[in-house]
Amino acid sequence: MTKPDLLLVADLAPRVVDQLDQDFTLHRYCDATDKGAFLKALPEGLRFVATGGGTGCSREIIEALPALEIISSFGVGYDAVDVEAAKEHGVRVTNTPDVLNDCVAEVTMALMLALAHRLPESHAYVRAGRWENEGAMPLTAELTGATVGIIGLGRIGKAIARLAQAFSMRVVYHGRSEQAHQPFQYYDNPVDMARDVDWLVVIAPSTPQTRGIVSREVLEALGAEGRLVNVARGDLVDEEALIEALSTGTIAGAALDVFAQEPNVPEALRMQDNVVLLPHIGSATHKTRAAMGDLVVKNLRAHLRGNPVLTPVV
């Protein structure tokens, strides 16, 4: 029996591609040099798309596929998928939530520990032989007893909150609205929350309402003893204002897994001593990426077989 056609917009991991190849005839848009010509040459009736959270699926692709029924995206963030275009054309969109919650929460705490205790600098200090020549490192901050404000108390935000509590931290949060039955103080204004916390953790989705939510005003409110952690999307932080805040001592430091123009990280950030930088690896473990890939496949197979998808966005 002929397998249905699927457009592979992003070059997903071999584990995912091998599974998809069992049920679908794959068309590798991700490898095409002339994307427009590739779209025009696709067989009629193509109903399935698989993509990555960073690559997404544009309106152009959606409108070039009149029979399209589902876009299955690898990643919890789906801001690169034109969801409005998908809604207009009756296309289902899925993502891969939950399976990466614990991993991203772990990396968040690792960033906080690294920044508070100056772990990257201490590691380099020892390796360079400076300990025996220059003596002990300066004293550092710690997490115990500090207050962390979380922007975005969703699935991952709650996992971060639980780990923060294990470090005896006080947790508060900001989001679109107050969540009933949560044991944490709610702030309806990120500036007010930033003024009251030692740490500001960003883990909200990228939407028109959240882009730039960590503004110059928020950074000024966070203050000279405050530290910022971003494990969401780079565009939630005013990067130019952040660079200025770090260089002038407006805030004490930042730990970043995401950036505005990945993989291009501003030189001004890379040169700062009070910054810990990661190459967007919040969910980058074998276990978590395998689970995310499997969920991409499960959503597509469910739709193929006429069953409800597991993790619908729209």
Residue 180 CA to residue 100 CA, distance in Å, equals: 24
**Residue 262 among the catalytic residues:** yes
DSSP 8-state symbol, 87: H
3-state secondary structure of 27: strand
Catalytic residue among 27, 47, 233, 303: 233
Q: Residues, the chain, total?
A: 314
Say if CB 226 and CB 194 are below 8 A apart: yes
> H helices of the chain, where?
14-23, 35-40, 59-64, 83-88, 101-116, 119-127, 130-134, 155-166, 190-196, 216-222, 239-248, 267-270, 286-304
Residue 22 CA to residue 292 CA, distance in Å, equals: 18
Nearest to 220 by CA among 201, 195, 237: 195
Helix (H) or strand (E) holding 187: strand 185-187
**Residue 240 among the catalytic residues:** no
Q: Number of helices (H) and strands (E) in the chain: give both, helices first.
A: 13, 12
Residue 187 CA to residue 184 CA, distance in Å, equals: 10
CB contact set of 187 (below 8 Å; sequence gap of 6+): 149, 172, 173, 174, 193, 196
**Residue 280 among the catalytic residues:** yes
CB contact set of 209 (below 8 Å; sequence gap of 6+): 176
Q: CA of 124: how far to CAs of 10, 190, 278, in Å?
A: 37, 35, 16
Catalytic residue among 60, 84, 240, 262: 262
Catalytic residue among 117, 170, 216, 280: 280
Largest CA distance in the chain: 73
Active-site residue numbers?
233, 262, 280
